[in-house]
Amino acid sequence: MKETIKRTTDRGRQAARKAVAAIPPKTRSQVQAAWNFIREPALTILLVFAATTAVARPYYVPSGSMEPTIQIGDELLTSKFAYGYSRYSLPFDIGPASPTRLLQRMPTRGDVIVFRLPRDTKQVYVKRLIGLPGDRIQMQDGNLWINDKRLALKSGGTGMVEGENGEMVAVPRFTETLPNGRTHEIFKMQWNGPLDNTKVYVVPPGHLFMMGDNRDNSLDSRVAPEDGGVGFVPMENLIGRADVVMGSVDYLNAHSLLEWPAELRVARLMKPVR
C-alpha cells in the first residue's frame, strides 16, 4: 500500500514539473515579475489583517460619555486578546454565535471596554465595566451602589467637559473607588437627574454592566435597550480593552481640515487609559 502511494505521489510530482516546463519562458518571467511586485504589499496587508484580528485595533471616539477619562476625538488602541475572542473579534463578524469566548478571560471591574451594542451590533460603544455577573447595581441620590455598598467619592475640584457642539463647560469632578480598590475620575453635575435613582439591577450570568464616567451624559446599562440604552452586555459582544490613547484631535473646535493640526492634543498622545 505504501509503495502504491509513493508511486502515485511521484507521478503527481512529475506531472507538475511537466506542466511548469510547458509554460513558455516569457510567461513564467511575467508571472515571477508580477509576484515580486505584489509580494511585499500582500504580506503587509496580511500582517495588518492578522494584527487587527488577533492583537489590537484602533477605535475613534465621537462622543463625550466617557469624559474625563476619554475625550471626544481620542483614538483608542484596544487590546483584542485581553478577554479572548468571539465573532466580534473577527473582520465582518465572521464566525458562529456563542455565549463563551475562545480563550475567555473575565474582565476586571473598572476596565474600560470597547464592545458591540447589544440592540444594534453594527454600533461600537466604549464604557467602564462596573458590574460582573451576579452583582447588584443601583443608583441612589446620584451615588453608585454595588452589592448594597455605596462607593466612596472624593471631590477633585472641577474639570472641563466638552459638549458635542464643541462648547466647554466647567463641572464638578470626583474620584470614585470601586470595591476592588481601583479608582477613576467621573464628572457629576447633579444628584437628582433621571438616572440618579434607579431600581436594583442584578447582572445575569454571562453579562456585564457598563457605565460612562460622564455620569449625567451617558446612555449605558442603566437604560434598557428598548428605551435606547445599552442594557446588560453579553460577554460575546466584547471587542477588547481600551489601553492607550494613540492620538487626539479636537475636531469640534476646528473650522476646517486645515485647522486640525492646531487642535492636536499633544498631552494625550500615548496616554494610558485608567
Instruction: Report the pLDDT value the prediction gives residue 48, as an integer from 0 to 100.
Output: 40
85 residue type, one letter: Y
CA nearest neighbour of 156 among 187, 127, 130, 180: 187
List the Cα angle 152/209/127 in 5-degree steps: 80
What does the mean pLDDT of the chain come to? 83
Task: Let me know whether 175 and 226 are in one domain.
Answer: yes
Domain final residue pick, 52, 67, 85: 52
Which of these three, 12, 35, 52, is where a domain ends? Answer: 52
Task: Characterize 124-150 residue by residue with b for buried, 16 or more Cβ atoms within 10 angstroms of its Cβ, and e for exposed.
Answer: bbbbbbbbbeebebbbeebbbebeeee
pTM: predicted TM-score of the whole model, two decimal places: 0.80
Q: What is the pLDDT of residue 273?
A: 96
How far is residue 265's CA from residue 245's CA, in Å, rounded to a whole number? 11
- What is the distance between the terminal CA atoms of the chain, rounded to a whole angstrom? 64
Both 39 and 92 in a single domain? no
CA 208 to chain centre: 15
Q: Catalytic site residue 2? A: no
Q: What is the average per-residue pLDDT within 28-50?
A: 47
C-alpha grid cell, residue 42: 500582500
Residue that finishes a domain, picked among 52, 69, 93:
52
Q: What is the pLDDT of residues 227-239, one digit of tens each?
A: 999 999 999 999 9
82 DSSP 8-state letter = B
Q: Which domain holds residue 45?
A: 2-52
User: Quick one: cell of 221?
Assistant: 446599562
- Rounded CA separation 234/246 (Å): 27
Residues 6 or more apart whose Cβ sits within 8 Å of residue 261:
none
Percent over 90 (pLDDT), the chain? 60
Do 37 and 86 have their domain in common?
Answer: no
Q: How many structural domains are present in the chain?
A: 2
Provide the pLDDT for residue 15.
53
CA distance 11 to 219: 67
Check whether residue 8 and residue 97 sit in a common domain.
no
Residues 47 and 93 in one domain: no
- pLDDT confidence tier of residue 258, bands split at 50, 70 and 90: confident
Residue 139 DSSP label:
E
Looking at the structure, tell me whether residues 46 and 105 fall in a common domain. no
Mean pLDDT of 240-258: 83
Q: Which of 127, 188, 218, 248 is catalytic?
A: 127
Quick one: average pLDDT of 60-73?
Answer: 93
Is 65 among the residues known to form the active site? Answer: yes
Per the CB < 8 A criterion, the answer to whether 273 and 59 are in contact is: no
Q: Could you tell me if 118 and 242 lie in one domain?
A: yes
Q: Are residues 77 and 211 in the same domain?
A: yes
Q: What is the pLDDT of residue 92?
A: 78
Q: What angle do CA 162, 186, 62 make, to 5 degrees?
A: 40
- Residue 20 is inside which H or E element, if any? helix 2-22
Q: Are residues 63 and 46 in the same domain?
A: no
The residue with cell 489590537 is 56
**207 and 247 housed in the same domain:** yes
Distance (Å, whole) CA 4 – CA 8: 6
Are residue 142 and residue 34 in the same domain, yes or no?
no
CATH number at residue 89: 2.10.109.10
83 and 34, same domain (yes or no)? no
Distance, CA of 21 to CA of 1 (rounded, Å):
31
